[in-house]
């Protein structure tokens, strides 16, 4: 549980946008706009706070995880 929430969430939309660029399946555009790897599995790793701020060390730990 992160931030008292049990379901995934994105405070600012950046992670969702990047995930769509990487692995979007193009469903809403009927396949016109797909990510570069639409078959990829995505795991969200929250490393920034609600304002998009975090320590470099926290980001590195998230990447290493």
Q: What is the pTM of this model?
A: 0.64
Whole-number Å distance between alpha carbons of 33 and 9: 23
From the list 44, 41, 40, the residue with the least C-alpha distance to 5 is 44
In a domain, 9, yes or no: no
Q: What is the domain range of residue 60? A: 14-64
In a domain, 53, yes or no: yes
Tens of pLDDT, residue by residue over 21-62, are: 999 999 999 999 999 999 999 888 889 988 989 999 999 999
Whole-number Å distance between alpha carbons of 12 and 51: 8
How many structural domains are present in the chain? 1
In a domain, 20, yes or no: yes
In a domain, 8, yes or no: no
Phi, psi of 22 (to 5 degrees): -80, -45
In a domain, 44, yes or no: yes
Whole-number Å distance between alpha carbons of 54 and 46: 10
């Amino acid at each position: 549980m992160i931030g008292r929430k049990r379901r995934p969430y994105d405070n600012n939309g950046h992670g969702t946008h990047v995930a769509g660029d990487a692995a979007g399946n193009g469903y809403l555009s009927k396949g016109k706009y797909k990510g570069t790897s639409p078959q990829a599995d995505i795991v969200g790793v929250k490393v920034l706070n609600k304002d998009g701020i975090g320590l470099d060390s926290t980001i590195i730990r998230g990447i290493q995880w």
